[in-house]
Structures are given as C-alpha cells and as structure tokens.
Structure 1
C-alpha cells in the first residue's frame, strides 16, 4: 500500500493548482469550439485585368490633369504686367497714336503715322485735299491716286471730317477755265460747257440752271455742287 501513497502524492493538486487546470481546460475547449461559429467572409482579391495600352492611357490622363493644374497655378501667380505703367510717357504716346484726326487740318507727317499710309500717299492726300477745297466725306480719300481699299480700311476708323465743315468753294460765274479745271471733279467738257453757258446767259444762277446744261450729267453736277458758289 505504500506505492499507492506515493502515486497519490504525485498526482495530488492543491486547490489553486486545480483551479488553474480547470481554467486552462476551459480555454482550450473554447478555442476549439469557437471557429465553428464563424465563417470567413473574406474573398480573395480579384486581379485588375488592365492591358498595357489602358494603363498607359490612364497614366497620360493623370499627367495631363497635373499639367493643367500646374499651368493654372502658374498663370495666377505670374500674371502679365500692364504693358505700360499708368501715367508713363509710353502710355501717353500709345494713347495719342489711336486718337482720331481731322483730315482737313492734319499735315503729311501726321498722316504718315497712320497704318497703310506712307510718305508718298500722305503727300498725295494733302495735295488732293487742296485741289478739292477740303474733304466733306472720308470716303473721298479713296479717290486719291494710289489709294487701295486695303490701305483705306486700315486707317478709316482713325480719321474724321469735323461736323459742320464748309469746303472752299469756286465762284463758278467768275472762274476761268484754268480755275475750273483745277478742281478734280471738273473735267474739260464740264468747264467748257459752263463757260459757254455763262457767255450766252450771263450767269448760272443756281444748281437747277447748272443741271439744265445738256452736256452735263446729273451725277457730275451733284458731285461738285458742295464746292460751287453761285453768287455774282
């Protein structure tokens, strides 16, 4: 019976030891049972089946977006300065260049500064203006020798005829043939017809009398009428 005592002593556990054994056994059983109550909802990741072309396209889109954003940021931070400081001499000169000039008082040097007009054309404009007695309409500039429509439309918005301008007029009843012919609108037959009518009728009293001269067309008479003075 002595060996039984030895076995009993060997397998004997104290109260604390038994409690530890119970707890350990419970934990092991719990760990064994718990997995049966939980199923895995985790699905393996599916690969993204993008081709190389698609990947390059997406990369280009991202690069383009980044470039646009960088460009906007640069523009906002580097705004272009005003071409001329306000109040500077250069700004004043620029303002003068776009001012509208009166074609009846401007000189040839000022005309040269207009777009489409050079040295020769500016001199012709002044000469033609003197022969006319002044421009009554800016479209008369198109009658200047060497003036093309292209030239005219370049500066048309930069010139004007002052409202109420009165041109220099020809005293038709006193003018000589040479004086009549000096005007661009009076040709040889016009001048001869006027002088012949005056010799036979003493004078031309008004525009109607001038229109009555058979050798002159109505268009010719009306064109030159603003430049005629019928006083005796």
Structure 2
C-alpha cells in the first residue's frame, strides 16, 4: 500500500506544470460540487396558497378569452343553435373540452334533452365564463323554455311536434327558410341552394345526403322540414343526342362515363332506361334519381 502511494506521488511529480494545474483544478471542482450537494436545500418550494387561488380565479377568464380569440381569429359568425345537437367539431370550435362534449353526447344517447343554459352547464360541467360566452347563442324551442323540471325524457317525435312545423317544398325554399333549421347557417344554406341550382331542382331528398358539411342530425331535420313537391324546373339532358362534352356537364357523369355512354350509343343505337345498367361504370345505385334528369 505504501509503495502504491509512493508511486502515485512520483507520477504526480513527473507531470508537467500544466498537467499539475489541471489535476488541482479537477480536485477543486469535485470539492465545490460536493459542498453544493451537502449544503443546498433541494426541497420543493411550497406553493403560495394565495397565488394558487388567484390563478384558479383567472382560469374562468382564460376560458372566455380562448373562446373569443378562437372565433375572432377564424372570423366565424356564430348563428343561434340548439345546444342539444352540438357535434364534436362544433363543441371544439366553441371552446369546449373533450370531456365536456362527451358528457353531452352521453346524455343525448339516453334520449334526453337540456332545456336551458343552466341544464347545459349541469350536464357538461363547463365553466361559468364559457357558458356566459356561448349561451347567448343558444336557441331552444318555445315549449322547452316553459318546462319546470330538468332531465325529462322526450322522444325525437315529441321534440319536434311541440313546435308547429310547416313542411315546405325544398325546391322553392329560400335561404331564410333553410336557416330556420337548427344547424344550418349562412354557408351551408348557400351550399344547398347552389347544389339545387346545378340540377334546376332536386328530384329526391336523398340528394341532400351528398352535400358536404351536413351532419346526420341536420339531414334528419331537413327531411322533417322539407319535401319534394314539384320538379317542374328540372334540367333534363337527352342521353341519345347529347355529345360527350355535354354529358360531362351533368353532375352525375364524369369524362370517362360520358365516353362510355357515347360508345354504347354508337354500337347499340338509342339508349332506353333499361339499358343504363348495361353501360360500363354507370352508377346503378343512383339510377332512380339520374333517370329523372334524362330524356330518352
């Protein structure tokens, strides 16, 4: 052991001046770090209770500001809506948390409806600030406003029949008529009218299903509020005389199908309604609708 210490000392004495300084600095750093470890207080500082309470009180304001910021950034106009029919996307846009949206959806799966802003908060557990921000846009049926008890169970039939509903012809409906349906705003109403304009008129309410942006709930309400009464303005195309270019203008036909129709026509003569299923690529699942737009 004595020899080992002597050897280490001899080795140190043989170091150059810069090596000796390096060894001394290394020992100095080790001593400093050891001292810091033993004397520094690593305990987690206690949270100031008053500061915590102040932070929690500001959270309500944060919820409201997030809602206002999101809508001002997107420059989205919010139209009155029935909160019973909020979708995941709609809830997200309003500033609701996933858990809050899930509580509402679970409540609705039980075939129940909220009839006031207060009941909406009880079910979803949203903050007061967020409720104050979005509740002015809530639109409940008149009969629901007079209900005294919460969480009553209603069938969908009862929910709509309580209000006097006038069923209109969707082909003569105005933008204002469409926007009276919960869930339909300015953009979606324009989308419906533009779709109708492409065909001159709708021949089946099934065509509503093809309009982008309509949720199943909104489609259900449209079918309850509108029907097809007249198709006098329908734009018909003569399948036996139209060129492939003219056929491609028909919304149901793409370029390839238009070519296949003309090819079939040139090889087999005039097309009859029963021949449509024989044409390659023809959308047979929509044949009943398409046939109403064709002349033979």
**Alignment TM-score, normalising by the size of structure 1:** 0.49
Which structure: larger Rg? 1
TM (normalized to structure 2)? 0.40
